[in-house]
């Protein structure tokens, strides 16, 4: 059986995802909020996951409607393209990531070192 403070914590955490602030907002002291928030997220992890999933399900129709609106009506081409990519990705049509392959057998040692240096700078 949960206390009223624990219930408030779970509700706040599901909305915000911030354990410390949710503990404070629920009525726990600021001094113990970080520890208490961590403890409560572990203690009620199953319930938090279930409630969070319900909250996501509730907003899904409006989120999809907004995404559809961006695909059709966004003034910015980059916003429109981003929305289209997001829809395609969620539909399982994410583009295959290209992998560059270099035939090192045909490269000189100096060229290989140059290529490695260029890769290091990118990452």
Model pLDDT for residues 37-76, shown as the tens digit of each residue:
999 999 999 999 999 999 989 988 998 899 899 889 999 9
Q: What pLDDT, on the 0 to 100 scale, is given for residue 120?
A: 79
By residue range, what is the domain housing residue 87? 60-123
Whether 53 is covered by a domain: the verdict is no
Whether 28 is covered by a domain: the verdict is yes
Q: Are 85 and 67 in contact (CB under 8 A)?
A: no
Q: What pLDDT, on the 0 to 100 scale, is given for residue 111?
A: 82
Q: Is the full-model pTM beyond 0.85? A: no
Q: What pLDDT, on the 0 to 100 scale, is given for residue 106?
A: 78
- Tell me the CATH number at 13: 1.10.10.1400
Using 50, 70 and 90 to split pLDDT, how confident is the model at 102?
Answer: low
Provide the number of structural domains found in the chain. Answer: 2
Q: What pLDDT, on the 0 to 100 scale, is given for residue 123?
A: 60
Q: Are 107 and 118 in contact (CB under 8 A)?
A: no
The answer to whether residue 22 scores a pLDDT higher than 90 is: yes
Q: Are 74 and 123 within one domain?
A: yes
Whether 49 is covered by a domain: the verdict is no
* Separation CA 45–CA 39 (nearest Å): 10
Q: What pLDDT, on the 0 to 100 scale, is given for residue 109?
A: 82
Q: What pLDDT, on the 0 to 100 scale, is given for residue 119?
A: 77
Note the Cα 7 to chain centre separation in Å.
25
The share of the chain scoring above pLDDT 90, in percent, equals 50
Whether 6 is covered by a domain: the verdict is yes
Whether 55 is covered by a domain: the verdict is no
Q: What is the mean pLDDT of the chain?
A: 88
- Range 98-116 average pLDDT: 76
Q: What does the buried/exposed string (b/e) look like for 72-110 if buried means 16 or more CB atoms within 10 Å of the residue's CB?
A: eeeeeeeeeeebeeeeeeeeeeeeeeeeeeeeeeeeeee
């Amino acid at each position: 059986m949960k206390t009223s403070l624990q219930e408030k914590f779970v509700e706040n955490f599901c909305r915000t995802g911030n354990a410390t602030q949710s503990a404070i907002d629920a009525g726990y002291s600021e001094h113990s909020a970080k520890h208490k928030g961590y403890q409560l997220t572990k203690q009620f992890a199953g319930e938090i996951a279930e409630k969070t999933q319900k909250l996501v399900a509730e907003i899904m129709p409006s989120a999809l409607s907004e995404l559809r609106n961006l695909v059709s009506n966004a003034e910015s081409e980059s916003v429109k393209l981003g929305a289209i990519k997001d829809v395609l990705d969620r539909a399982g049509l994410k583009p295959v990531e290209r992998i560059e392959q270099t035939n090192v057998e045909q490269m000189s040692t100096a060229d290989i070192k140059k290529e490695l240096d260029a890769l290091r700078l990118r990452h």
